Copies of this chain bind each other. A is one copy, B any other.
């Protein structure tokens, strides 16, 4: 982060119906699935090439790759590899959560792989993976163990950026801390204690939406050493200027993620897709970095 003076995460969320022209140009396979896979891959590579300099990581929305069926995982792995080649960390935005053995299998798939009687199965090699904690600590712990074994980290959904987040995450509890998401935050803090590095930050972070800045202060109180992944800037209405509490432990305390606002920047610009994406990424990078230095 300090090398690149950036906390910006390029969210990669390729809608097959809204790809850059470079996508359609690359699509010549005989099957719809083959063409869609080619187009998504070309789009993602171009998006990364345009924005990489301003970013520290990509966040890959796994749903957009799963919809490619049998081609999905190879496109996902290719995009991850392309991002690594540009010096970017890879965040697998998987939001998986399941009972212990299943959580372990997901963690193997997304992180360092697994040894089997048939040999080692490589994982995606992600640096961070998002996890859904609804099913409890035993659904999260296998990810933390697997992440520690491979030098990676976990980002637990705590208070998400969507309107529906209020339905269950914000429910008021009979005993303090007062809300469901605050109780999840306590678990994040506990799980992260054994994974605190010299930076003061731990390997168990939290997804905290940028759309409701008032939650950030409280989230930071409850999770003093967690890195926050901050979705919701741009298309969902969040503003970089409101994210100061995320940076209380230092400039690495917050990862600002933007997807549509970068990929779709050309719709509000005279520049082409790549130029507009680069400019918007640089604008967000500079805003977040300046803010984090003032906190």
Question: Chain A residues in contact with chain B, CB under 8 A?
Answer: 13, 15-17, 24, 27, 31-33, 35-36, 39, 61, 63-64, 66-70, 72-74, 77, 95-103, 105-106, 108-110, 114, 116-124, 132-139, 157, 160-169, 171-175, 180, 183-184, 187
Contacts and interface: CB of A to CB of B under 8 A. Distances in A.
Number of copies of this chain that the complex holds:
2
30 contacts: A13-B102, A16-B116, A27-B118, A32-B116, A32-B119, A33-B122, A36-B116, A36-B119, A61-B98, A63-B96, A63-B98, A63-B106, A69-B73, A69-B77, A69-B109, A95-B98, A97-B134, A132-B132, A133-B134, A133-B167, A134-B169, A135-B162, A136-B162, A136-B163, A136-B165, A138-B164, A168-B180, A168-B183, A171-B171, A172-B174
A25 to B, nearest CB: 12
Q: Which of A39, A74, A102, A169 has the most CB of B within 10 A?
A: A102
Given A72-B73, A109-B67, A122-B33, A169 B114 contact: no
A97 B132 CA distance: 8
Q: Which of A31, A132, A133 has the most CB of B within 10 A?
A: A132
A161 B106 CA distance: 18
Given A63-B106, A66-B106, 5 more contacts: A32-B116, A67-B105, A68-B121, A95-B97, A135-B157
Contacts of A120: 32
A70 to B, nearest CB: 5
